[in-house]
Amino acid sequence: MADAPDTDLRIPTAVLLNPRDRVIDAAVKLGCAMVVVGDPTAPLPDNAPGEPLRSAWIEDPGELIELLRELDLPAPVSCFGFGELGCAAAAVVNERLGWPGNPPGALAAFKDKARLRAVVGDRAGAPVAHALCTGRDQILPATERIGFPCVVKPVDGTGSSGVRYLADRAAAEDFVTGSAEFTTPHLVEEFLAGTEYSVEAVTSPEGHRVLAVTEKATTGAPHFVETGHTLPVTLGPAAEEAITGLVTAVLDAVDYRYGPSHTEVMLTAAGPRLIESHGRPGGDRISDMLDLALGEDVFAQMIAAVLGLEPLPAGPRKRVAGIRYVTFDRMVPLHGISTELVASLPGVAEVHISVPAGATPPEVRRSGDRHAFVVGTGDTREELENNLARAVRTLTAGSKPA
């Protein structure tokens, strides 16, 4: 077990669950002492200070709670997780140890899509018609009540996993008789027509603050896997006011008190409708893009708010940032690709390839299947698109055999 940090009573301590390098950087900038916690198999970043505390906190947060209780860390101290599992576990740790943070009920509502709809009700505008199905035999009756087209998805799913668009009864019957095991409750929802956005916000004792509206692209039906994001985008004043009101109502309804949130909305002809919301930063490097484009460090803002520290000022940047996912030829095994050339191109901030060298790229049915991505910036939307298009062309060309 790791030793307690050498900490002065005036120095706040951040307990960090499987932190990224940017989370550690944020704690350093704020002058915090740190206890870095990694699950037994988690690779931790090179900038992690000292010897990490290893704990199977994902399976058993109770074990971590006892280890932290033994450390007897002086106040102010709080536990932080910024992923889907980490934010929920941190809330439980903080409640059990009497540390400040979000109530576990708020994170539980975000994780369970049916519970979120029940908690929000009509506070965020017209509720989306939906039905909770705890068994496979309930799917067809639910689709008949909701009407076609509709969408079915696991109540606790992430990364587009398990999402299906059902155009008609035949599609619903195919889903019901499919080979996938029905191991978790599902939600059948009305299909929302319009333009989908996500809204990145941060919450502190001063309230909820919308940082950016993010434009997204997806593969469309049937799985709606996200293929790109761009932020910030500007909508009309009426749309922005309505979206801000929806997000604020959702966060108030679940009693979300601290930190970043990521709310997905469909802007329909009748106004914005809630798709889902999460008490964490947006995935797909959206937190990085907020910093690259606007100088908004959501990790530092949450740590400062919870521990009562003076927040770091946002950077002076006013740019546009985006991520584009790259799909390689699925008929050809991927040979080793050097990303150095792409990384050196103008405006490129990060390049990542997920498919191992020699493997055949998979069909993209969920976020985890995507082959590669490029993150970039530009002073204008046009410059950003040019930078990303050049990077994607270069990466794709490098994937082809000589």
pLDDT, position 3: 54
What residue type is assigned to position 164 of the chain? R
Q: What are the strands, taking DSSP E only, across 176-258? A: 186-190, 195-204, 207-218, 226-231
256 neighbors 103 (Cβ within 8 angstroms) = no
**How far apart are alpha carbons 150 and 147 in whole angstroms?**
7
- Residue 6 forms part of a structural domain: no
The domain boundary, picked from 84, 101, 118, lies at: 101
**How far apart are alpha carbons 7 and 318 in whole angstroms?**
37
Phi, psi dihedral angles at 275 (to 5 degrees): -95, -60
CB burial class (10 A; 0-12, 13-18, 19+) of residue 165? Answer: middle
pLDDT, position 267: 95
Q: State the virtual CA torsion across 176, 178, 180, 181 in degrees, nearest 10.
A: 50
Residue with the two structure tokens 């941190």:
90
- Residue 110 forms part of a structural domain: no
DSSP 274: E
Same domain, 273 and 359: no
Same domain, 198 and 184: no
**How far apart are alpha carbons 45 and 28 in whole angstroms?**
14
Mean pLDDT by 10 residues, the chain (402 residues): 52 96 96 95 89 93 96 96 95 98 96 95 92 93 96 83 89 84 88 95 96 92 88 94 96 97 95 95 95 96 96 83 94 85 96 92 89 97 98 84 57
The CATH number of the domain where 171 resides is what?
A: 3.30.1490.20
Same domain, 213 and 171: no
pLDDT, position 7: 43
The domain boundary, picked from 190, 212, 227, lies at: 190
Helices 104-111 and 84-97 cross at an angle (nearest 10°) of 160
| Tokens standing for residue 61 | 């947060």
The CATH number of the domain where 382 resides is what?
A: 3.90.1170
- Residue 252 forms part of a structural domain: yes
- Residue 133 forms part of a structural domain: yes
Same domain, 242 and 277: yes
Same domain, 267 and 248: yes
Total tally of structural domains belonging to the chain: 4
DSSP 369: G
The CATH number of the domain where 18 resides is what?
A: 3.40.50.20
Same domain, 334 and 356: yes
375 neighbors 323 (Cβ within 8 angstroms) = yes
- Residue 7 forms part of a structural domain: no
pLDDT, position 1: 47
284 neighbors 258 (Cβ within 8 angstroms) = no
Same domain, 199 and 285: yes
Same domain, 150 and 198: no
**How far apart are alpha carbons 97 and 200 in whole angstroms?**
29
Print the domain residue range for 289.
193-307
Residue-wise burial string across 15-30, b where 16 or more C-beta atoms lie within 10 A, e elsewhere: bbbbbbebbbbbbeeb
371 neighbors 364 (Cβ within 8 angstroms) = yes
Q: How far is CA 155 from the centre of its chain?
A: 16
Same domain, 17 and 69: yes
Same domain, 207 and 298: yes
pLDDT, position 344: 96
Closest to 395 (Cα-Cα) out of 381, 375, 367: 375
Same domain, 295 and 208: yes
